[in-house]
A and B are shown apart, each in its own frame.
Chain A
Amino acid sequence: MGKRSGSKRKDKNKVILPPELPPEVDDDAVDVSDEDIEFYSRNEFHHFDQEPIDRYVKRTAGDEAEVERLYEEREKRKALRRPREENDDLEVDPVDALPIKNLQGELVYNRAKKARSEENTGSTKSQENGADAKQGINKDEQTGKSKNKKGGDKVKNTQSHIEVPKGKLHSDVLEEVKEELSAEELFEKKKAQLAELGMAMLEEPESNIRSLNDMLSISNDKDQKVVKLGLMSLLAVFKDIIPSYRIRQLTEKELAVEVSKEVKKTRYYEYTLIRCYKAYLQKLISLEKQPHFYSVAVRCMCALLDTAPHFNFRESLLASVAKNLSSSDDVVRKMCCETIRSVFINEGKHRGEATIEAVRLIADHVKLNDCQLHPDSIEVFLSLRFDEDLGEDETEEQKVKPKKNKHRQNQEAPKPLPVSDKKKTRRELISKAREEVDADLRAVSFTLDPKERKGIQRETLSALFETYFRILKHSMSTSNLRSKANIVSPGASHPLLAPCLEGLGKFSHLIDLDFMGELIACLKKLSGYSDRQDGTPHDNTLSVSERMQCCIVAFKVWRSNLEALNVDLQDFFVQLYNLILEYRPDRDRGEVLADALKTLLWEGKQQDMLRAAAFIKRLATFALSFGSAEAIAALVTLKHLLQKNSKCRNMLENDSGGGSLSCLVAKYNPEAKDPYLSGGLASVLWELSLLEKHYDISVSSMASNILSMATLNPTQNPVPILNVNPLEAYRDLSIERELSKPASKALSLNLKKRRRGKEFVALNPEVLRKADCSVDKQELEEKLQSHFAVLRGISENERLRAELNHTLSSINMYKEYKKQKKKNMKSKIIRKKVARV
């Protein structure tokens, strides 16, 4: 603040500089920068109103403080007067607030600006040439002046008193000025001022860098609208002028060295820029807490982070944005997610440093909030990109790393997964050492060498998985805790689990082998697998989709590690086998089911025959009870299983009572929980014969296609009709897809022209019979007669009424008649009298 007020004073001093004095003569204590001088020498001041300047000329230095106080007062009052217009337009697009520089380099002014220019045509030229703060303030006075013209008397008065004590004079004038300015004008003025400043900044940032201070001070305004405008204008300016490098603090040594004027100028520029930027960010962060400015502040921060992730103070920006990832405001959250995603994707802008920072911040955030965040905050991780070979030369790197810093590990927060401590420590060490090296490297070069890049990515990865594991652990502990709670709202208690599992699936190839066992155990538990002794699977509070996702992730992890891992995934098959029956079309996500079928069954190489048979039977039954999309996914899987396990093809045939193959279970039990005990091999796939009648042509043709396998010999496969995996098949047939497809063209129905005879098709013959029995003659007569009577009564009534009215009016006429008669009598009498007279 001290700085700012200082600069303000500087400006004031400039304003009150007597124009007749040449700038070089000015030996004021305030230092005058080169551009100021330049400006003064360039601009003629004759168009300035003489009066206000005159007024200030005589001012002594002691009055400065007084004037400032008055200015502040005026601001306050303005702010008081203004609030009612705030509602009019709260958000002003930065595009409107600032002039636009078009391709030709000409400045295009917005409307407000134009209005402004008309007002001060005299000064427009100078503005365009690069007006600076002084100009703006001068114009303030001008405007005030022009408004004052009405009360010219007063001005003259003050002018005549110009010789009397100056302090009083100043306050008088200021008082008047602020009285005259209406709130609206003030707003317009500020807007225009912002526009001018911004435009100047954009045009020549080097020479006008100090305008940033003014803009900052404007955005300290009491008027919220003005503040928003100021923030947006500053954002636009910063977006434009922030350099593509990070500004470094000068060392003592460097400062001591004598530098050329050019360098000095640049240093000054950078210094001001960084100072203002810092102030701006501080302002944003403080405003973010006010609900009124919340979205504006976040928007500004997002935009800044998006454009300048390499620049100074990125950390605070990232912290704010990451915090708002789980904002309850949808718009803000979307904005933050987009920003973080763009940070992840455009790593070239910041060499991946921001990525790691962001991931860490989110990780901390998840930790702090005990995993109760909006899913979006984790979903952004899916946009992370890692090099494919990241995991490979890890071991080699590890050897290089010294084992010195082991003690540091103890200070760390307890790891969510205490396994593989050793590995973690190592990685930690690697990263620590890397960081140091990085710092040096960064100073030297712009490009990252692959090693460094790998290091950063590895760190990111570890933070990422730390988050994921934390969420998994958390889900496990809570699901155990709440095992007795009802399962009305599955999924609600673990908002982060779904995106977490998705992420694990996506990055499964990067998971450290040492984690694998733990992870699989964790997933097994989450997927609802119980050792058959402890209660029903309902104890699990996870939704069916989430449990299926667990299975999918387990398989992905296993498969992406070249299936080298020696884990028993049998339990997941059992899970899936049971989960298929729990699936509900509207509650659960069909895509997850299809994905599970694809991952577990379709992509698998060789299946156990018993298990395959059990799945085949269950999928066929499943297809009978569920919609076409689910059915086709099941059938695609089924067909694949039959192709892979040719022995199961016996199920397609009915050999003397059930399946031909002898197995443990002689009779198929559809409700069995264990695929091995269901006796699937003993069953016949009768379902397919009904599925051939399915309304959906693709399902029915798939069913017949599968049935055609029966006649082929085991090595032959039927003509492929649908060469897609279950997931694609599901998507193709889902009703959303169907509805989003353009409506089919006008149907052309080619019907045999056949006119139906007289027979009825839809109406119940009983109903028809009822109509034919004619109305009873007696009843009809009565009804018709009463109808007639009513009509007659009505007409009679009407006739009588007319007659009555006629008679009544005739009687009434009698009165009239009497009156007339009397009149006649009177006139007669009068006439008689007249005659007599």
Chain B
Amino acid sequence: MAKKLGKKARKFARKNLQSAAKRNRKIRNQFNNRRPRRGGSGAREDGDEDVQQRVDDATMATNDTADALIDGLEFPEDDIEIDADLSDSDGYLSEDPGCPYYSDSEDGDDVKGSIMQDGLDRQNDDMNLDIEKQKRKLKKLLDKDPEFANFLEKWQSELESYRSKEDSDEEDGMDSMDDDDDSNDANSPDTKILTTKTISEWCQLVSKDPKSSALRNLLNAFRDACRYGVHSDSPSMQRFQSTRLFYQIISFVLSESDNIFRALLEISDDANKGQIMNLRNSKKWQPVDPLLKSYLRNSLDLLSQLTDNRILSFVLTRLRASAVLFSAYPSTSSRLLKILFRLWASGDQSLSLSAFLMIRQVAALLPDCLDLCLTKAYNTYLASTKLVNDRNTKHIDFLMNCLVELYSLDVQKSCERAVTSVGQLNAILRQASKTKEKEDLRKIDNWQYINCVNLWVRFLCCNYKDYNLNPLFSQVLQVIRGVAHLFPGTRYLPLRLKLVQMLNELSTCSQMFFPIPSLLFDCLEFREVSQKEQTQKTKVNFSSLLKVPKNLLKSRDFQEECVLSAIQVLSAHFAQWSYHVSFPEVATIPLILLKRLHEQTTIESLHRPVKRLIDQVNENKDFIERKREVVSFSPNDKASVDSFLQEEKSSGNASFTRFYASIAENRQPRGRKTL
């Protein structure tokens, strides 16, 4: 990573950020004059800025592309960066000189000998050899002509002065030029080599007493570990000689710091934001503040440094415990969220999940962040649902569920957003239905629109019982009906099936009746199948399609998929009303069509599933008819109608229920069920 950044960027950082860093340092000096400071403590500043900037750039870039992708559906995002306390912090903590440093050379496992034998190591070896060769050559030259040594020296000093002219702040001596290294205090902790023994000792000290001064040292070490490799020519690189050490520091700090800080601040596990804010003004806070800040900021650095999904999710899991502590630092938490959303949208499942859990934690604990979270999550969702293929349907589904989770945290608040979003959807729909122009229709006939509708359907389903969401409900319903109306025809059957699935969901949650069959007649209609057999089986997967390609319209596979999907949603509909007194009537018309289809279809593979559905429906129909023959209430007796067969329903033993369960199960492994 550090390499990718390149020298140019670093140079840029050095050049442009240094003045700011210097100013900050000066201000700090004025404030913290009393505190003894070691030389070179500010040296890391620019590196820090560097990382910060890069992270910002990365997120900005993703934001930009996301903006370009989503046309008008997303929520406006105001990226007000509270830079104020971003730069006023110095990662470095002054250390207590009393802390033990053990200098030993027992680090047996050198990097070279470690498991890693990748190309870089070999390259480094080659380069080492090369350097040796060249140096010998140079030495020969020098030996041959001693005057050349003088010349070379002159040239080098010229180069130096040129460079120092380039960097106006050079004379400060703070920069990490290679030859400035020696200007650093040899005793500076920056260059003190860490050993496993030292770390173990510190860990022990800290575990025993959280207030121990070793915590500072430990956090400093953590800081250096987190930034390891960011600034390759920094002296802190030298502090780590072994891989074990690196692991030791990071794992200890991550796993223990939450307890330590809670102990220091004396807060319980279920502390909320208010308590933290109160604490901020208390005396207890003062000594802990820099430590905490350093810990949180460095953890973020680590997050943006790491590339491995497993470690990332480990870090996130650890960090989640101390989510509430972020509330003290708004800018840090917004940076955290940026990183989190990037990780959330990434394809890896466990990482996405841990990122989301962290997001949820932050959103739940920090009310200030909720708005930002909702907006960002929605926009991220829209951006990542632009394209749907066979592979990412699951991920999108997961993202949608996450979003629903997030929006269910504070329904009052998220309802406003839902209303806005659904209003947008509705406006697009109206426009399209008014003009019927291709461009307007295309705004609906895309995944973003459909996924957005699906999101609100899911949201409604989760919260319909607990809240009065009727106006939103009817709006969403109108959108679904409108879309179904605007896209008739066989080509849009996949889209239609999705809408029907949504209606089924809504129907289940609201216990309202939706005439699902009217949208499915097209699927059950017998169509000619092209006679020529296709040589290769084209897989028609409706979950990643909205519109069927024209060449597949007459194919056997399409027809098959059509009927099977229709059976799926139709049986869901039937299953919902399978205990209702009027089930026989619900099934009448679909049954006529199914029978006709069964007679006419030429596709052998369809005979069995269709027949099975017909039989099951008939069985249930007879069952209900038998049952209702013996009751004495009339259709207008609401209470009796509602209680009809409730016992059977709760036991769920009727054959149709079992049939539906088996159908739903069968479809799942084939990956066809999207919802």
Binding site for B on A (CB under 8 A): 486, 488, 581, 584-587, 620-628, 630-631, 652-654, 656-658, 670-671, 684-695, 707-708, 710-711, 735-736, 738-740, 743-744, 746-756, 758, 760-764, 767-768, 770-772, 774-775, 779-804, 807-808, 810-811, 813-814, 817, 820-821
Residues of B within 8 A of A803 (CB): 131
Known contacts being A621-B588, A807-B131, is A586 close to B580, with CB within 8 Å? no
Cross-chain contact of B582 among A658, A689, A708, A820 (Cβ < 8 A) = A689
**A774/B317 in contact, CB under 8 A:** yes
**A581/B131 in contact, CB under 8 A:** no
**B151/A785 in contact, CB under 8 A:** no
Known contacts being A586-B522, A749-B472, is A783 close to B237, with CB within 8 Å? no
**B458/A795 in contact, CB under 8 A:** no
Q: Which stretch from B87-95, B275-283, B350-358 is at the chain A interface? A: B350-358
**A794/B2 in contact, CB under 8 A:** yes
Given contacts A585-B518, A654-B634, A811-B141, 17 further A-B contacts (CB under 8 A): A584-B522, A584-B525, A585-B519, A621-B588, A654-B635, A692-B638, A695-B512, A695-B514, A735-B485, A743-B430, A747-B471, A781-B247, A787-B308, A788-B246, A792-B237, A794-B2, A794-B229
**Nearest residue in A to B130 (C-beta to C-beta)?**
A804
Residues of A within 8 A of B317 (CB): 771-772, 774-775
B 110-141 contacts with A by CB, 8 A: 111, 114-116, 118, 120-121, 123-124, 127-128, 130-131, 134-135, 137-138, 141
Rounded to whole angstroms, the CA-CA distance of A821 and B141 in the bound complex is 14
Flag whether B433 is at the interface (Cβ < 8 A).
yes
**B588/A804 in contact, CB under 8 A:** no
CB distance from A585 to the nearest CB of B (A): 5
Cross-chain contact of B115 among A621, A750, A786, A820 (Cβ < 8 A) = A786
Rounded to whole angstroms, the CA-CA distance of A817 and B151 in the bound complex is 7
CB distance from B640 to the nearest CB of A (A): 9
**A695/B513 in contact, CB under 8 A:** yes
**A652/B636 in contact, CB under 8 A:** yes
Cross-chain contact of A656 among B510, B581, B632 (Cβ < 8 A) = B632
- The contact string, 1 if C-beta is below 8 Å from chain A, for chain B 225-257, is 000110011000100100110110011000000
Decide if the interface of chain B is mainly helix, strand, loop or mixed.
helix
Cross-chain contact of B404 among A686, A749, A751, A762 (Cβ < 8 A) = A762
Size range of the interface on B? 35 or more
Binding site for A on B (CB under 8 A): 1-3, 111, 114-116, 118, 120-121, 123-124, 127-128, 130-131, 134-135, 137-138, 141, 145, 147-148, 151-152, 155, 178, 228-229, 232-233, 237, 240, 243-244, 246-247, 250-251, 306-308, 310-311, 313-314, 317, 350, 353-354, 357, 364, 398, 400-402, 404-405, 408-412, 415-416, 419, 423, 426-427, 429-430, 433-434, 458, 462-463, 466-469, 471-472, 475, 477-478, 481-482, 485, 488-489, 506-507, 510-515, 517-519, 521-522, 525, 528, 577, 580-582, 584-586, 588-590, 592, 628-636, 638, 641
Cross-chain contact of A775 among B118, B313, B426, B482 (Cβ < 8 A) = B313
**Nearest residue in A to B644 (C-beta to C-beta)?**
A689
Known contacts being A624-B515, A692-B638, is A658 close to B229, with CB within 8 Å? no
CB distance from A820 to the nearest CB of B (A): 8
**A743/B427 in contact, CB under 8 A:** yes
Could you name 22 residue pairs across A and B whose Cβ atoms are closer than 8 Å? A581-B592, A587-B488, A626-B515, A686-B584, A770-B350, A771-B317, A775-B311, A783-B310, A784-B243, A784-B250, A786-B114, A788-B240, A789-B115, A792-B111, A792-B229, A794-B1, A795-B237, A797-B3, A804-B127, A810-B152, A814-B148, A817-B145
**Nearest residue in B to A742 (C-beta to C-beta)?**
B430
Per CB-CB distance, the 3 closest pairs between chain A and chain B, nearest first, are A791-B229, A795-B232, A586-B488
CB distance from A769 to the nearest CB of B (A): 10
Decide if the interface of chain A is mainly helix, strand, loop or mixed.
helix
Known contacts being A686-B582, A690-B580, is A811 close to B118, with CB within 8 Å? no
CB distance from A713 to the nearest CB of B (A): 15
Cross-chain contact of B152 among A585, A624, A790, A813 (Cβ < 8 A) = A813
Known contacts being A689-B581, A799-B232, A810-B152, is A739 close to B430, with CB within 8 Å? yes
**A770/B513 in contact, CB under 8 A:** no
**A625/B634 in contact, CB under 8 A:** no
Cross-chain contact of B636 among A581, A626, A689 (Cβ < 8 A) = A689
Residues of A within 8 A of B404 (CB): 761-762
CB distance from A259 to the nearest CB of B (A): 63
Residues of B within 8 A of A795 (CB): 2, 229, 232-233, 237
**B134/A811 in contact, CB under 8 A:** yes
CB distance from B259 to the nearest CB of A (A): 15
Known contacts being A708-B636, A749-B472, A798-B2, is A793 close to B111, with CB within 8 Å? yes
Cross-chain contact of A710 among B232, B401, B411, B636 (Cβ < 8 A) = B636
**B408/A808 in contact, CB under 8 A:** no
**A751/B411 in contact, CB under 8 A:** yes
**Nearest residue in A to B422 (C-beta to C-beta)?**
A747
Rounded to whole angstroms, the CA-CA distance of A771 and B350 in the bound complex is 6
Known contacts being A684-B635, A749-B415, A751-B411, is A797 close to B120, with CB within 8 Å? yes
Residues of B within 8 A of A631 (CB): 515
Rounded to whole angstroms, the CA-CA distance of A803 and B512 in the bound complex is 76
Cross-chain contact of B513 among A693, A740, A786 (Cβ < 8 A) = A693
**A653/B120 in contact, CB under 8 A:** no
**Nearest residue in A to B408 (C-beta to C-beta)?**
A761
Residues of B within 8 A of A817 (CB): 145, 147-148, 151-152
Cross-chain contact of A756 among B121, B152, B409, B585 (Cβ < 8 A) = B409
Residues of B within 8 A of A748 (CB): 471
Rounded to whole angstroms, the CA-CA distance of A580 and B247 in the bound complex is 75
Rounded to whole angstroms, the CA-CA distance of A230 and B298 in the bound complex is 84
